[in-house]
Amino acid sequence: MHWTGGDRIKEARKIRNFTIDDLAQKLKIARRTLINYESNKQEPQISTLIEVAKICQVSFSWLALGISNINEPKVPYGVLSSEAKILKELFKIEEVRKLIYKYMSEIIKQEELASELDKILIETFSQQKKDEK
């Protein structure tokens, strides 16, 4: 599936379990405006995308451009109590523990790279906006 900017805004909203009204209120925009963004009838300003990324806790590079470390939203994952019990048991196995540490270190590296990319993109877009004025 080819994701559009509107698809990514909608997905970011759904990840946080926000209704259209919830996110529109947090962004201080009209409900219809958000609907237009999500349906690709209207394009949001960069400043709006930055706010959506912050509010929904997703990568700006993913939201604005569809790119990031794994082309997926960067969101904190919740663990159910039943999953936590299983993970606790698995963590007792040394091989599994080593794999988890390796996996987590890779995620941290990717998150750091995505954060750096976000900073560069935000600075670039902000500078372009100033240059346009």
Q: What is the CATH number of the domain that holds 114?
A: 1.10.260.40
Burial (Cβ within 10 Å: 0-12, 13-18, ≥19) of residue 118: buried
Q: Which domain holds residue 118?
A: 5-132
pLDDT at 6: 92
Positions in the chain whose pLDDT score sits under 70 = 1-2, 68-91, 97, 100-101, 103-104, 107-108, 133
Give Cα 22 distance to the centre of its chain: 17
* Number of folded domains that form the chain: 1
